[in-house]
Amino acid sequence: MMVSAKKQLQTIFLASTNCSNETSVEENVVKPLLKILGYVPQDWDAQARSGYGRVDFLVKARRQRSPTRHFLVIEVKRPGHHLSKSQWQLNRYLRDSGSLFGLLTNGFQFHIFYNFFGKVELVHGFDQPQIIEDHTRFTQLLCQKTCIRVMGLFNEQQYKVHQVILGAIAQKLDKPEIRKIPYRNKPEEISKLEQSQKSMIITVFNNKGGVGKTTLTINLASALAKMGKKILLIDIDSQANLTTGLGTDPLFDIERQGKKDITHLLTEAKTSIDDVKIRKSWGDITLDFVPSHIRLSDMEAQLIQTVDVDRVLVKKLRKYKEVYDFIFIDPPPSFGKVNTISLMASAGILVPLQLSPYPIRALEYVMNRAFAIDDIREDPLHILGIAVSMYDRASKKLLVEMKEEINSVLGEDKRRQNVPLFPENTWIPRRNIVSTSPNKGYPLPAAEFDDELSTQEREAALDAFTCYQALAEHLVQAAEKVKG
């Protein structure tokens, strides 16, 4: 391969010894060189307009999705021409066209320039023998691959700047929808990175109190952990039911030990998830969680004053997307600030639903809230599905009626029609053991090891847990679907 590149170059330059004018340098040297550099004729324009003049070759980023700048301008002179005399001309073409690199050549000498937003530098000068000897270096400087990579870097930076600017404007004008203004050329590198982020952040959301959000969160997360998924739970409810349900007392185990909780995470810029998280294990189930504290209930005013508070959790979770498979947020039963913070940080919503008339009617409000948040976000917020959280297995008649009621609520609106109700084998039965295990500070499967329980209670615990396991499988599928 190396020998053939060398041979190709020797052949090209042999032809150039007979060059008598600029045109033959273009045909016999520059065009063959461009091919060696990885470009095809569709990549360049000959005699392209640039400012007030015409540049001999303008190599464009045609095959890229992000053509923010051209790759290369080439100015060709006749053999014997002193390149230094024409440097000004190349500088002008580079500035006018905004291209990254420039090549000035008379067929014998080759001067390479780099244009950093109008500041043009001569990077290196090659002559024919040097290019033949050092063809790898010459090629790597100007080849298409290099240009694409450099352009990708610029584009990535521009995308970040774009996001910061929109964020600042949105905040100043108090118009969150401004953040949604799309970036014309979202960098492919960034899109790929986003796809590789494996975590799914889900808010278990229903503004109605006592529908089983927290119980569902703990046991569903345990089912996923049993499947081998890495889980983080975030208790963002001042009632701290998730925290106590996992056997941690916010007063004794956190405050009195001088440890931090969700309130520190939300209000202290430097406090990270690692500073607050607690890890608990029960057999093969391991859960990390951010504990809550009752003082969160007095913090609404402080939260509103915190800079960019709606995105505080988004930012803090960013680096954990590679660490966890699922991050669940357990919010309070309200439409307050912490709910917005939770929904802004999430990619999906899971709606727990009790099978009785009022909660079903309230579904409409839950979904409208989710759609309202979706409208102001840059990335979509998916309603992954509705999970029945307390189901009375005895009443078949009620079941038919409730299903009809749910379907009628979902059918009322086009957007709602896409929201799935998870199937019956995922419906969590109403059982005493489901209700008592959080009081004991463990998830359902740990009931197996509780000597205070009867055999029947343990069986009931395992039976109920199989529904959470079925739900976990459906949730994994729903998450995969929206991740694409």
- Residues in contact with ligand ATP by CB under 6 A are 209-215, 237, 239, 241, 332-333, 389-390, 428, 430-431, 434-435, 438
| Residue 450 tokens, joined | 């509780």
Residue 357 site contact among Mg ion, ligand ATP, none (CB < 5 to 8 Å, cut-off depends on kind): none
Size of the site for Mg ion (CB under 5 A): 3
- Give the single-character DSSP code of 254: I
**Nearer CB in complex with ligand ATP: 112/221:** 221
Q: Which of 60, 81, 213, 321 binds Mg ion (CB under 5 A)?
A: 213
Please report, to the nearest 10 degrees, the dihedral formed by the alpha carbons of residues 186, 187, 188, 189 taken in order: -140
Least gap, CB of 240 to ligand ATP (angstroms): 10
Nearest-CA neighbor of 428 among 225, 213, 283? 213
List the x/- string, 401-440, binding to Mg ion by CB under 5 A.
Answer: ----------------------------------------
Strand-pair partners of 349: 203, 383
Alpha helices (H) in 418-454, listed in sequence order? 432-440
CA distance 82 to 199: 59
Helix (H, G, I), strand (E, B) or coil at 410: helix
Residue 389 site contact among ligand ATP, Mg ion, none (CB < 5 to 8 Å, cut-off depends on kind): ligand ATP
Residue 224 site contact among Mg ion, ligand ATP, none (CB < 5 to 8 Å, cut-off depends on kind): none
Least gap, CB of 262 to ligand ATP (angstroms): 14
Q: Which of 115, 206, 214, 437 binds Mg ion (CB under 5 A)?
A: 214
Least gap, CB of 245 to Mg ion (angstroms): 9
Of the candidate spans 38-46, 235-243, 407-415, 430-438, the one that interacts with Mg ion by CB under 5 A turns out to be 235-243
CA distance 468 to 220: 5
**Nearer CB in complex with Mg ion: 12/444:** 444
**Nearer CB in complex with ligand ATP: 28/354:** 354
CA distance 244 to 272: 22
Note every long-range contact of 458-465, with CB atoms under 8 Å and residues 24 or more positions apart, other chains counting. 460/431, 460/432, 460/433, 461/431, 461/433, 461/434, 461/437, 463/429, 463/431, 464/219, 464/428, 464/429, 464/431, 464/433, 464/434, 465/219, 465/222, 465/223
First to last CA, the chain: 40
Of the candidate spans 49-57, 70-78, 214-222, 258-266, the one that interacts with Mg ion by CB under 5 A turns out to be 214-222
HEC secondary structure over 18-81: CCCCHHHHHHHHHHHHHHHCCCCHHHEEEEEEECCEEEEEEECCCCCCCCCCCCEEEEECCCCC
Residue 435 site contact among Mg ion, ligand ATP, none (CB < 5 to 8 Å, cut-off depends on kind): ligand ATP
**Nearer CB in complex with Mg ion: 176/212:** 212
HEC secondary structure over 295-333: HHHHCHHHHHHCCCHHHHHHHHHHHHCCCCCEEEEECCC
Of the candidate spans 19-27, 61-69, 166-174, 241-249, the one that interacts with Mg ion by CB under 5 A turns out to be 241-249
**Nearer CB in complex with ligand ATP: 176/438:** 438
Residue 209 site contact among ligand ATP, Mg ion, none (CB < 5 to 8 Å, cut-off depends on kind): ligand ATP
Least gap, CB of 379 to ligand ATP (angstroms): 26
Residue 210 site contact among Mg ion, ligand ATP, none (CB < 5 to 8 Å, cut-off depends on kind): ligand ATP
Residue 430 site contact among ligand ATP, Mg ion, none (CB < 5 to 8 Å, cut-off depends on kind): ligand ATP
Contact between 148 and 59 under an 8 Å Cβ cutoff? The reply is no
Q: Is residue 241 within the footprint of Mg ion (CB under 5 A)? A: yes
Q: Would you say how long the chain is, in residues?
A: 484
**Nearer CB in complex with ligand ATP: 435/466:** 435
Residue 431 site contact among Mg ion, ligand ATP, none (CB < 5 to 8 Å, cut-off depends on kind): ligand ATP
CA distance 373 to 391: 29
**Nearer CB in complex with ligand ATP: 155/219:** 219
**Nearer CB in complex with ligand ATP: 75/237:** 237
Contact between 388 and 355 under an 8 Å Cβ cutoff? The reply is yes
**Nearer CB in complex with ligand ATP: 240/478:** 240
Q: How far is CA 163 from CA 117, 155, 169, 180, 223, in A?
A: 21, 12, 10, 9, 37
Residues that bind Mg ion (CB under 5 A): 213-214, 241
